[in-house]
Structure 1
């Protein structure tokens, strides 16, 4: 019955619209960004559309339906790997949030310029092609958004995380620093006074960075490489749809405008079969399995020696088997209960009933997948949004946060004992899993529906809010507050002068009477 419902929904979604030409721009040379971008674009192709995707990675399994074209940004992945050889990502958690902003500025400008100047992209820009929709990854590459106007398509943004202050102003959604923690600060959802003060000051700082540095630099790049590029400020005010890789099972509920659509978990596909050796390894783990992965960007083989030794000693004492994503062929000091893999099918592993806990860096893809499959976590966040995701898991009761600087054999052992022996963590994550899965249709079908909705309604301008016609100071009533403050200030001055005048007149009258009395006497 369920399959019939889904089939009928797909028919309704695609009714009234012919195959559309859709361009996806996902240039960030990071596997996690590609996984999300390709899942979205392949879903649109499977719905029968003509899809073109710009990315540093070639698609491994092209969709069977629709039409698919890869525009591969040759050399970008290699260039990133060369640069990141010089950067120790495990030390970035020691940097301030402001330093992270500066790093993102540099990375965004570099990625935008390399994308727009790439010969294949320049060929597309000068090809006279048109697209109905241009989907752009909304992550520090804002100079790519004018491509939508260039190709005469409606602009759809995709965010690889939840709603935040970096996104809200693009569609006119309110941002309140009182209850909306900034991504890079990793603050709890219930902030005390000083946390709210810090959050507010950082919000102002990052907005100033966007308006005074990031946007002007990105705007200059788009005008340099896109003929007659529309000004970025105008483009930012004409976003048709914002797709969010979030869901209430993962994040605290936030106000959302109609053009903001949550599709968190859309990249999760039905579990495939595990490789035979992994299937056997997991099936025979009678005491359970601990799965450990730091994701695609953080490499375990680059862990500081003291942290690696702490992990080895903690794992070596466990009765459970340990499955470790390790990028080299050998691991010095590898205990007999530890199995290594340069690449591991994470979704299929998490779906296995013998997996007791997932030790993760707290990346959003990993967090989404562990919630979907109902596996509690020990999170060791290092950079970016990982701390925010990890704290969210801890507050929701399905994870424990172990800050990377505090990683020791003793702490890891204690946290593993707690999360494996205490049933509340698995109970909480399985409750979240049921929430994530309890939807009318799949999140990918939701994404396809809304992209087609934008096409059917010629950009869906009726979803646009009036805030976008206001300057930021008008939205926050700063001009009104300033006017009232000036009026009150003038009123107070006039009142002071009036009182002074009355007092002076009264004093003069008193002095006059005194003088007359003296003369009479």
Structure 2
């Protein structure tokens, strides 16, 4: 009897394992952009998918250092530069066309990534007999890897680590109203002056249609034809055939937008549980009677590249504070450093911001750091330099939880005034309230992302979530044809009435 029970248990256990394996989907992750901060949003999702039993294959510049079960890396290191602790603050100078320059730079970096299509490991994958249930792709600065969606005939899901780039609104049928939705390469918030609305409207059409076509779509099509053949459709058509778009935003932080069902907000998906701090940092924070301010320009910008005058301005402001300051600073020493300042080349940012004794954050306002501070209710002094950092800063300012500094004009006085603002109890109270709203959700962001990925995989796509406007040409979606028709009818009626009136008047007089 015991032998029979043992055999039954083994059979049942084997069937359970078989059932779990059969339910696992084959998922291809495609992340050719070399920005480490971008990949930090996506890799927790990929790891969680693998942990849940799905077979995950990942194309990226950032292979896992230690092998993970169900997780296979295809490295494309060498296809473009890696964005990690290698940007000087002096790179960014005042310019009225800074957003256009950044768009051009994004295109150039994207085309470097397209070279990876010719890498042997990518060609081997294409020529293999592998199949995938769903493909996850970043929709950012170039689209040549969208050709894999066509080659593998798999439904795809787009992901964005930032606020939505202007050229993605049309692809996913997202209603865009330039009167309150600022282009994320500009410096505006959702409430704009007349002049700002004019500039915002012009820039939306410039970036979304003109520059996107010439700088993104056409170069990508050339690369695809060069490396993969002539029979693949345009990447613009492949992009519009994407099932879902998972975006790293949330209405409590980035303000409310009118998104269709195929656009899902997953802001905070990269946040895990805070880990214990290194002993020296833990001691520095816990022993600070008045709290601690954390200072970091993220994973790309070098805080140590600030001019000596700007560094001195920060130090002069810091030495007047009762609070202590943790400064992510990439050099070994900082001459003139006040006693209340600790420098380290690297610091566990989220773990620090999660500490209850941290009362402020000085940041370039990259979206990941912004989310981490917002999640923990920490007020921010923002020093935006490029990209969507200005829009992120404006969003925080609109909540009353941030002060914005001009990085071209950083003085001790302006820094001190900003510190005085964010350290007010009323500002901290607002930040804590926004944090509660940000965390108050039906499901955690990771569970939301996984559910929708599995939904697309098990249903072979999600066409029912995509609005019909995705398939319309611009002149139809903008009702240009209808407007022209109505204008023509009114013009004809006015002309006929004019002629009749003229005829009547001639008869009478």
- TM-score normalised by L of structure 2: 0.90
Pick from 322, 325, 329: which aligns with 1:326? Answer: 329
Shift of 1:502: 3.8
1:32 aligns with 2:34: no
**CA offset at residue 506 of structure 1?**
4.4
Match for residue 415 of structure 2 among 399, 402, 412: 412
- Equivalents in 2 of 1:457, 1:249: separation in Å? 31
- CA displacement 1:35-55 (0-9 Å, x = unmatched): 112112112111211111111
Native 8 Å contact 2:45 2:446 kept in 1: yes
- Structure 1, residues 289-338: CA drift from partner, whole Å, max 9, x if none? 11100011111121133222211222233222211111111223222222
For residue 78 of structure 1, report the CA deviation from its aligned partner.
Answer: 5.0
- What is the match of residue 345 of structure 2? 342
Q: Which residue of 2 aligns with 1:371?
A: 374
**How many Å separate the matches in 1 of 2:48 and 2:95?**
35
Question: Residue 302 in 1 paired to residue 301 in 2?
Answer: no
SS at match of 1:209: helix
SS in 2 for 1:249: helix
Give matches, 1:112-511, under 5 Å: 113-163=114-164, 165-206=166-207, 207-227=209-229, 228-420=231-423, 422-507=424-509
Report the Cα offset of residue 86 of structure 1.
8.7
* Distance (Å, rounded) in 2 between the aligned partners of 1:46 and 1:192: 49
- The one-character-per-residue Cα deviations of 1:157-187 (angstroms, maximum 9, x if unpaired) are 0011234643221121211112211111121
Shift in alpha-carbon separation, 1:15–1:457, aligned structure 2, 3 A? farther
In structure 2, the residue corresponding to 1:174 is in which secondary structure?
Answer: coil
In structure 2, C-alpha distance between the alignment counterparts of 1:484 and 1:274, rounded to whole Å: 66
How far apart, in 2, do the equivalents of 1:364 and 1:460 lie?
28
CA pair 28-276 structure 1, distance change in 2 beyond 3 A? same
Q: What is the deviation of 1:96?
A: 2.8
In 1, Cα distance between equivalents of 2:259 and 2:20: 27
Distance in 1 of aligned mates of 2:223 and 2:312: 46
Q: Give the Cα–Cα distance (whole angstroms) in 2 for the partners of residues 57 and 93 of structure 1.
A: 33
CA separation in 2, counterparts of 1:93 and 1:153?
Answer: 43
Task: Classify 1:392/1:79 alpha carbon distance in 2 versus 1 (closer, same or farther; 3 Å).
Answer: closer
| Unmatched 5+ stretches in structure 1 | 1-10, 508-521
| Structure-1 separation of matches of 2:77 and 2:94 | 28
d(CA) in 1 for partners of 2:348 and 2:448? Answer: 26
CA distance in 1, matches of 2:65, 2:286: 29
Q: Which stretch shows the higher mean deviation, 277-286 or 119-128?
A: 119-128
Give 1:156 shift.
0.6
Displacement after TM superposition at 1:470 (Å) = 1.4
Q: Which runs of 5+ in 2 are unaligned?
A: 1-15
Alignment check: 8 A CA contact 2:140 2:165 kept = no
CA distance in 2 between counterparts of 1:406 and 1:268 reads 33
Closer, same or farther in 2 for the Cα pair 1:79/1:283, shift >3 Å? closer
Cα contact 1:133–1:156 (8 A) shared by 2 = yes
SS of match in other structure, 1:145: helix
Secondary structure of residue in 1 paired with 2:92: helix
Paired with 1:473 and 1:231, the residues of 2 have a C-alpha distance of 20
C-alpha spacing 1:166/1:424, structure 2 compared with 1 (3 Å): farther
For the pair shown, the structure with the greater C-alpha radius of gyration is 1
- Decide which moves more: 281-290 or 471-480: 281-290
User: What TM-score, normalized by structure 1, do the two folds share?
Assistant: 0.88
Q: Deviations over 1:357-391 (max 9, x none)?
A: 00011111001000111111111111111111111
Conserved in 2, the CA contact under 8 Å of 1:47 and 1:448? no
**What is the CA distance between 1:279 and its match in structure 2?**
1.2
CA distance in 2, matches of 1:46, 1:79: 27
| Matched-pair contact (CA < 8 Å) for 1:17–1:452 | no
Q: 1:295 to 1:313 in 2, by over 3 A?
A: same
> Please, which moves more after superposition, 363-372 or 142-151?
142-151
Q: Which digits, 9 at most, give the CA deviation of each residue in 1:86-117, with x for residues without a partner?
A: 99433377753222222222222222x23323
Cα distance in 1 between the residues matched to 2:78 and 2:449: 31
**In 2, distance between residues paired with 1:384 and 1:246?**
15
Deviates more, 1:304-313 or 1:70-79: 70-79
* Structure 2 residue corresponding to 1:59, chosen from 42, 50, 64: 64
